[in-house]
Amino acid sequence: MRKPFLVFTLLVFSALGISSAASAETKPAEHKLVIGLVPNLSARTLITAFQPMKVSLEKQLKQPVEFYTAPSFQAFHESTLRGEYDVVVTPAHFAWIAIQDADYVPLMTYQNTLQGLVIVQKGSDITSVKALRGKKVGITDPLAIVSMRGLQWFREQGLQPGTDFSVHKAAPDNTAALAVGSGELDAAIIGSGPYRIMPEDIRAQVQVLSEVGAVPNATYLAHGRMPEKKRKAVQEALLAFGNLSPEGKQFMDQYKYGGFKTISTKDLKSMAVYSQQVKALLADGK
């Protein structure tokens, strides 16, 4: 990433209380617990959504907690592989790579799966997938598992991306929704989790045309450098927040996550095929 953009990103995120883990130079002191959040929404929306978790973890762990994000899925993935996060909240296919290649250990995931959604403008006369032939469809990022699943769903419906409709990148998810709401895009593929988290004034501009298939939800990982005792304390603190505290239950209910459940490496094995797609796209420079 170019340095001027990095400086701008840091200034904006600093004002919001969230940081960009774009380089080792920006990593905070080791006494802080650094949690990386996948950039599927704007920094402002992310920090608002995860603020109750931050407060709870700081109280339980008795240490500062700092959330980091990145300007793109690729930058986030690369920061994860460099070990810049103590804990990372990452898509399941990224999690598989981080476990295999970057010494991360699985902690937990949400009870409910992530559903891919095709959204169109509120009141649109597009009422079927066939009506998107010749139209403009947005994806948040080629590396996003929902984008991969969504484009495959279109193929299953007999529409070839790039041939029967054009594909446009619009990131993050709330930006994609705004582009659909304004008519800039005819439709977009987004995740059900980000859809629920984005502000109501954005969601009010769009409607769900179709679900495209469920995939595993975001996965929480701890870096292997974290001592086992500390790792268990973090896991217990997250479980206590999400499954026991009033604030955590509200968080889970509001975003339809269904609470936390522990997860193992074996549970993520099905993500290997998507992980190979990530590596292939990165090798192609996409």
DSSP 166-204: EEEE--SHHHHHHHHHHTSSSEEEEEHHHHHHS-HHHHT
What pLDDT shows up at residue 284? 86
Res 13 pLDDT > 70: no
Task: Please classify residue 90 by burial: count the beta carbons closer than 10 Å to its beta carbon, then call 0-12 exposed, 13-18 middle and 19+ buried.
Answer: buried
Provide DSSP, 20-43.
Answer: E--SGGG---TTSEEEEE--SS-H
* Position 286 confidence tier, pLDDT thresholds 50, 70, 90: low
Handedness of CA 162, 181, 72, 147 (dihedral sign): negative
pLDDT in tens, 229-254: 999 999 999 999 999 999 999 999 99
pLDDT in tens, 95-117: 999 999 999 999 999 999 999 99
Question: With the CA atoms of 176, 39, 145 and 224 taken in that order, what torsion angle do they form, in degrees rounded to the nearest 10?
Answer: 180
Residue type, 102: A
Above pLDDT 70, what percent of the chain?
89
What pLDDT shows up at residue 15? 39
